[in-house]
Amino acid sequence: MENLKYSYMMHWKLIPYKKIENFRDFYYIDRSNKAYFSDWDKIVKYHVGAGYKGIELMPFERHQMKTLFGSIQNFVDFIKERGLEGISGMFHGLGESFDRSQHKAMIEEAQEIIDDTYAFGGELINLCPVANYNRVGPLSTEQLKAIAEVVDEIGKRALDKGISVCLHNEFFCATNTENHNQFLEMTDPRYVFYCLDTAQVALMGIDPVEFYDKYHDRVKTFHLKDTASAPLPDSVRHSQDPEIQPDGHRWFWEPGEGDLDFKSLWKLLKKYNQKGWVTIETDGTPDLLASMVLTKWYIDHELSPIYK
């Protein structure tokens, strides 16, 4: 039995149809590849064909599922009928979480995410803890404590339903190079875990291999992607909306196409007997299907021989 299960992060945006019944007619409307990326039937089959077991959802997609499929359960049944194991989890982000006056509303919103993740059968909520550095940074120690308080409470509520809340840091998040590890240690390890996004932490100047070696007991899951741009200077990480560059420059690449040492990371996964979901995230790619297949090839041929 394999220890790691692979899911794919949903960056397909809004998919308008459940299943296109008249596929050939639909194709002839403009004779492009649009027909191949317009319904969930084919999107799910791409995941299964590439060897993925699940998908991770963005929060806005839960509303689409309810509208398009009639209920969350109908969507879950739909993807399982086509060969997926299920939903690994959902992504969620907090805003000005250092402001205690906003905690009540944040917890209420998070409870909705928890309830829907539970309905999807998901095991994880990957949580960005605070807004962008450009908007709210730098953070004081007291502000970090306030963020930890609300994250701990969300973690408690999620764990009551068997769901793990995992901190997920963006390279432009206000929890950044100078306080990233400090903030993780301020959260309660009983309720709050960690999603190691390999490229995001590298762009902050944190070695993902060294980080995992130190904090492996907190790491519950991963967002797996490569980068060739680490580390980024403060001038980029602290800028407004740095993730999307106007000249098309990409921070993120498929594993094996950048500079990160995934093989050393996988040796540590074996050492610490890591188990559970690993999500592939290919944000910034011009071709999601190509990236998901290339990444799975790299996993199967380069990483799985080390540990799977």
For residue range 72-100, what is the model confidence (pLDDT) as tens digits?
999 999 999 999 999 999 999 999 999 99
Comparing 45-49, 60-64, 137-141, 269-273, which segment has the lowest mean pLDDT?
Answer: 60-64
Report which residue type is found at 202: A
pLDDT for the residue numbered 17: 96
Contact 174, 128 (CB under 8 A): no
Query: Do the bridges between strand 164-167 and strand 192-197 make them parallel or antiparallel, or are there none, so unpaired?
Result: parallel
pLDDT for the residue numbered 19: 97
pLDDT band at 13 (very low <50, low <70, confident <90, very high): confident
CATH, domain range 4-303:
3.20.20.150
pLDDT for the residue numbered 113: 97
Residue appearing with tokens 């089959």: 45
pLDDT band at 202 (very low <50, low <70, confident <90, very high): very high
Relative orientation angle of helices 208-215 and 262-271, to the nearest 10 degrees: 10
CA distance linking residue 36 with residue 53, whole number of Å: 21
| CA torsion angle 98 104 110 114 (round to 10) | 130
Contact 98, 143 (CB under 8 A): yes
Contacts for 19 with CB less than 8 Å, ≥ 6 apart? 39, 40, 41
Give tens-digit pLDDT for 221-275: 999 999 999 999 999 999 999 998 889 899 999 999 999 999 999 999 999 999 9
The mean pLDDT value for 165-184 works out to 98
Write down the domain spans for the chain: 4-303
Number of helices (H), then strands (E), in the chain: 13, 8
| CA distances for 63 relative to 45, 89, 239, angstroms | 22, 15, 31
| CA torsion angle 273 279 285 287 (round to 10) | 110
Contact 97, 103 (CB under 8 A): yes
pLDDT for the residue numbered 31: 95
Strands (DSSP E) found in 24-76: 54-57
Taking the alpha carbons of 27, 30, 31, 32 in that order, is the dihedral positive or negative?
Answer: negative
Strands (DSSP E) found in 198-286: 219-224, 276-280
pTM beyond 0.85: yes
Strand partners of residue 5: 277
Q: Buried (b) or exposed (e) across 147-173, using 16+ Cβ within 10 A?
A: bbbbbbbbbebbbeeebbbbbbbbbbb
The mean pLDDT value for 139-166 works out to 99
Q: Which structure tokens are listed for 93?
A: 């982000």
Q: Mapping DSSP to helix (H, G, I), strand (E, B) and coil, where does residue 59 land?
A: coil
pLDDT value at 205 more than 90:
yes
pLDDT, the chain, mean: 97
pLDDT for the residue numbered 60: 87
CA distance linking residue 97 with residue 16, whole number of Å: 33
Give tens-digit pLDDT for 294-305: 999 999 999 999
Report which residue type is found at 192: V
Query: Cα 232 to chain center, whole Å?
Result: 21
Q: Buried (b) or exposed (e) across 83-122, using 16+ Cβ within 10 A?
A: ebbbbbbbbbbbbbbbeeeebeebeeebeebbbbbbbbbb
pLDDT for the residue numbered 12: 85
